[in-house]
Chain A
Amino acid sequence: MRSQLDRVLRETEKVIVGKRKVIGKILAALLAEGHILLDDVPGVGKTTLAVALSRAVGLSFRRVQFTPDVLPSDLVGFSMYDKATGDFVYRPGALCRANLILGDEINRASSKTQSALLEAMEERQVTVDGKTYPLEAPLIVMATQNSVGAAGTQLLPYAQLDRFLVRLSLGYPDYEAQMTMLRDRQLGNPMDGVACVMEKEELLAMQQEVRSVASGDAILDYITRLTMASREHAALQLGISPRGALFLNRMAKANAFAEGRDYVTGGDVQQVFADVCAHRVLLKETVRETSVEQVLEELLRKVENPDRRGFFSGIRK
């Protein structure tokens, strides 16, 4: 399992250089069947990453460039009148028949389009004219948000941000990475060299295995205490929701799986905590000096970790 993930990682790294950590997290999110929000400046390779990933894993890929005039029907499909038969025929939208969807600049879409997308993400099905069409099994939405040039955009409301499993950011490559990238792209596109190293079915099987990773009472206790502490934190207006706690557990499981374990440790929770929770909490307006990241770090520091807490459950689930 580990080796397969490594291979995917290596294939993807051919295109996105020096971002091993973020790619690893994205893979973990894939395993946890969650959606990913990439919050980044333009041109750091979000699309490239998505394409490379879909090629390496053998997922069908589709890209939607959101603008204010993209309509829900563009995403979920629409029924069209067929003159020959005199019937309405369903024309599938962008979400259908795709496993990995890159929703570029999701904050530029109108709010009704956003909510159509988010509904499909949550329920993994679309309903058009009263008929429900299930979407293909691994459905992963990678949405991007540009933090600059946000004028005239619709920022995702917190209720909807909550549906993304993780919020990540690629960031600029360092000197070495950028040199390598420039050198690689002198002659051709390295994207052509990305091979498919994993089948879609394998990914589904892995997702199944991630679900069966053991997350004992000690860990659940830790997650609960973390989230409750966030709700009581003085600097936070909005703490981590129960869904956030669920996602935290799921992502921790995926992280444990990616590290080749079949049980979650406190370390897994800590590693994914900031990625899973940073977009779920809201600072109070009166708080100026501190950032969300600092608050989350403080929570990790303050809340007694399960090692320290020290109860030996010893019994699986």
Chain B
Amino acid sequence: MNRRWIGFAVWLLLTVCLYFFENNAGTRIVMLCTMLIPLIPLCRQAFFSRDEAGGGISRPPAVRVSGRREMEESGNVRAYAPGDPVGRIHWKLSVRKDELLIRETDGYGAAEEETAEAPAEDGQGIKAERRLVAGLVSGMLLCTALLLLIPEANRGAQALCNRIFAESEKANAYVYDYFPVPEGQSCILAACLAGGALSALAAVAAAVRSGPLILSVMAACTLFQVCFGLPFPAWVNVPLYGLLSLRMMKRPWRRGSLLACGAAVLLVSLLVLILFPGADAATEAASEAVRDRLSLMAQSVMDTVSETREGETETRHVHTRSLNAGEDEAGTDRVFRLVTVEEEQVSMPHWVNWLKAILPALLGIALMILPFAPFLLLNARKRKAQESRKAFLSGNVGEAVCAIFRAVISWLDETGHGRGNLLYRDWADQLPDLFPDGYAARFARCAEDFEEAAYSGHPMREDMRRRALELLRETETALWKKADWKQRFRLKYWKCLYE
């Protein structure tokens, strides 16, 4: 389980919430599309290599599919040795075999540093990646070309566009020029081709780690949305895309690219808010409805409601215009004044509209950032944890002994067996009875070593390190064996820190 998956799950949840919050059909479609997009990197992760540092596709999917069984048989798993990173522990197998097992580095979960050090070694993978990208791009081009060239498909595409226009008109206050396509034109072929082209594009975006390309894809998506009107909260998609592109950009992020990305997102959001009336379409729709009501009222007062349902709209417009112009034949003075007052109440001051736009914008951005906040915190903890692991092999044995013993203590703390603010040497008498015989004595011994290392500054002997590592291993095994599901959950979370 990768923490990125959790992040995407939260993201997805959020989008779904927004989806239900929105009751506009066109926007809902846009939202649905947005929901699908985070799935791309997930699929990518599932089917291609698990390590991100390697960049792109470095391993064929087959390894992943039969990974575990193969590993078990070909001996890619070995017993846990003290000092091994907890993140390398194969938890599933460990549970089954009741002893801690370690994934070997040549398994599919290869160490990050290994790949980072020798990228040239993976030439095969890079070649495969290039081939795949080339195939996808040509597929995309082929689909587009077919879409344009085959008359049947072309007409279908136009019909498809007409449908989208119709949807968009329902959602917004726009009027589109429809393509001249005969009624009942089938658009199945066009939909297939367009779908193929789009999915190829998405696959390319997912497979390639090039920042500009992904950004341009995102920009295209955004433009597409903007063209078809983007009422709130669909424009939240803009920062969404921005975050997604940030996610997919090459690590480590440089400050420049971060700034550029942030600025671009902000700019697009603002442009959308200011230039496209879809943003306050909701407000307009509301005032429209009130106007309708008012004019109807005015008509009833005038006792002139004689039109049929079909003619209502025209009459309404006429009346509205006449009311606005203040012409006399629209009604008596009293009614006119009544209507003007009500209308003033309806059309609020302009800044309210701005407020309406800005507050949800801020809220949206906050909501977007929220799911990432824990990971930022987690990263800090992770760095600390990894540093302490590094200290295990430190040349200064004293430091190593301290770090190892503290790791033992953290295991106990994590599983709720910690003894709080008691001196570690006193913990030995109060340890839970889930440990094997003689553990308490060994713990006390190591606690003494720890004290000597921490407080004396004596040069420590190498066997003390060995003893401490032995204790750590024993602790980990015993605690994992006896942990209930809640504790195992905690341990797994904790394990995440070392991954």
* Interface positions of A (Cβ within 8 A of B): 214, 216, 218-219, 261-267, 270, 301-308, 310, 312-317
**B398 and A312 contacting across the interface, CB-CB below 8 Å:** yes
Chain B nearest CB: distance from A58 CB in Å?
A: 32
Q: What's the Cα separation between A262 and B403 when bound, in Å?
A: 22
B380, CB-defined interface residue at 8 Å: no
A/B interface sample: 21 pairs, CB < 8 A: A216-B456, A218-B455, A263-B455, A263-B456, A264-B455, A265-B425, A266-B423, A267-B423, A267-B425, A267-B426, A270-B423, A303-B421, A306-B454, A307-B423, A307-B451, A308-B421, A313-B454, A314-B398, A314-B399, A314-B453, A316-B457
Looking across the interface, which residue of chain B has its beta carbon closest to that of A265?
Answer: B451
**B457 and A304 contacting across the interface, CB-CB below 8 Å:** no
Q: What's the Cα separation between A316 and B398 when bound, in Å?
A: 12
B402, CB-defined interface residue at 8 Å: yes
Looking across the interface, which residue of chain B has its beta carbon closest to that of A316?
Answer: B457
Looking across the interface, which residue of chain B has its beta carbon closest to that of A262?
Answer: B456
B422, CB-defined interface residue at 8 Å: yes
Chain B nearest CB: distance from A176 CB in Å?
A: 25
Identify A214's interface contact among B396, B398, B406, B455, CB under 8 A. Answer: B455
Q: What's the Cα separation between A266 and B454 when bound, in Å?
A: 10
B452, CB-defined interface residue at 8 Å: yes
Chain B nearest CB: distance from A185 CB in Å?
A: 38
**B457 and A310 contacting across the interface, CB-CB below 8 Å:** no
**B456 and A316 contacting across the interface, CB-CB below 8 Å:** yes
Residue with the greatest number of chain A CB neighbours at <10 A, chosen from B421, B422, B451, B455: B455
**B457 and A314 contacting across the interface, CB-CB below 8 Å:** yes
Q: What's the Cα separation between A306 and B456 when bound, in Å?
A: 13
**Hey, what's the 0/1 contact readout for B441-460 against A, CB within 8 Å counting as 1?**
00000000011111111100
**B402 and A312 contacting across the interface, CB-CB below 8 Å:** yes
Identify B455's interface contact among A219, A301, A303, CB under 8 A. Answer: A219
Q: What's the Cα separation between A312 and B172 when bound, in Å?
A: 66
Which residues of the other chain, A, contact B452 by a CB distance below 8 angstroms?
Answer: 261, 263
Chain B nearest CB: distance from A222 CB in Å?
A: 10
Which residues of the other chain, B, contact A303 by a CB distance below 8 angstroms?
Answer: 421
Chain A nearest CB: distance from B10 CB in Å?
A: 33
Q: What's the Cα separation between A12 and B194 when bound, in Å?
A: 100
Identify B454's interface contact among A261, A270, A312, CB under 8 A. Answer: A312
**Interchain residue pairs A-B with the least CB separation, the first 3:** A263-B456, A316-B457, A265-B451
Which residues of the other chain, A, contact B165 by a CB distance below 8 angstroms?
Answer: none
Chain B nearest CB: distance from A195 CB in Å?
A: 34
**A315 and B457 contacting across the interface, CB-CB below 8 Å:** yes
Chain B nearest CB: distance from A225 CB in Å?
A: 12
Q: What's the Cα separation between A312 and B396 when bound, in Å?
A: 11
Interface bin, chain B:
20 to 34
**A307 and B424 contacting across the interface, CB-CB below 8 Å:** yes
Chain B nearest CB: distance from A216 CB in Å?
A: 5
Chain B nearest CB: distance from A260 CB in Å?
A: 11
Identify A302's interface contact among B406, B421, B426, B453, CB under 8 A. Answer: B421
Which residues of the other chain, B, contact A219 by a CB distance below 8 angstroms?
Answer: 455
Chain A nearest CB: distance from B386 CB in Å?
A: 17
Q: What's the Cα separation between A267 and B429 when bound, in Å?
A: 15
**Hey, what's the 0/1 contact readout for B51-90 against A, CB within 8 Å counting as 1?**
0000000000000000000000000000000000000000
Chain A nearest CB: distance from B289 CB in Å?
A: 64
Chain B nearest CB: distance from A27 CB in Å?
A: 22
Chain A nearest CB: distance from B41 CB in Å?
A: 38
**A265 and B421 contacting across the interface, CB-CB below 8 Å:** no
A314 with B423, Cβ < 8 A, contacts A214-B455, A263-B455, A263-B456 known:
no
Chain B nearest CB: distance from A226 CB in Å?
A: 12
Q: What's the Cα separation between A247 and B48 when bound, in Å?
A: 66
Q: What's the Cα separation between A277 and B451 when bound, in Å?
A: 24
Looking across the interface, which residue of chain B has its beta carbon closest to that of A215?
Answer: B455
Which residues of the other chain, A, contact B403 by a CB distance below 8 angstroms?
Answer: 312
Looking across the interface, which residue of chain A has its beta carbon closest to that of B451?
Answer: A265
**A214 and B456 contacting across the interface, CB-CB below 8 Å:** yes
Q: What's the Cα separation between A315 and B454 when bound, in Å?
A: 9
Which residues of the other chain, A, contact B426 by a CB distance below 8 angstroms?
Answer: 267
Which residues of the other chain, A, contact B454 by a CB distance below 8 angstroms?
Answer: 216, 218, 306-307, 312-314
A305 with B423, Cβ < 8 A, contacts A214-B455, A216-B455, A315-B457 known:
yes
**Hey, what's the 0/1 contact readout for B382-422 against A, CB within 8 Å counting as 1?**
00000000000000101100110010000000000000011
Which residues of the other chain, B, contact A305 by a CB distance below 8 angstroms?
Answer: 421-423
Looking across the interface, which residue of chain B has its beta carbon closest to that of A307?
Answer: B424
Looking across the interface, which residue of chain A has its beta carbon closest to that of B454?
Answer: A312
Other contacts beyond A218-B455, A312-B398: 9, CB < 8 A: A216-B454, A216-B456, A219-B455, A262-B456, A263-B456, A263-B458, A264-B455, A266-B451, A308-B421
Looking across the interface, which residue of chain A has its beta carbon closest to that of B388?
Answer: A310
Q: What's the Cα separation between A270 and B421 when bound, in Å?
A: 12
Q: What's the Cα separation between A264 and B456 when bound, in Å?
A: 7
Which residues of the other chain, A, contact B402 by a CB distance below 8 angstroms?
Answer: 312, 314
Which residues of the other chain, A, contact B457 by a CB distance below 8 angstroms?
Answer: 214, 216, 263, 313-317
Chain A nearest CB: distance from B51 CB in Å?
A: 32
Q: What's the Cα separation between A176 and B22 when bound, in Å?
A: 85
Chain B nearest CB: distance from A193 CB in Å?
A: 36
Q: What's the Cα separation between A266 and B422 when bound, in Å?
A: 10
Q: What's the Cα separation between A219 and B450 when bound, in Å?
A: 14
Chain B nearest CB: distance from A94 CB in Å?
A: 42
Looking across the interface, which residue of chain B has its beta carbon closest to that of A267?
Answer: B423
**B421 and A301 contacting across the interface, CB-CB below 8 Å:** yes
Which residues of the other chain, B, contact A216 by a CB distance below 8 angstroms?
Answer: 454-457
Which residues of the other chain, A, contact B396 by a CB distance below 8 angstroms?
Answer: 314
A265 with B455, Cβ < 8 A, contacts A310-B406, A312-B402, A314-B396 known:
yes
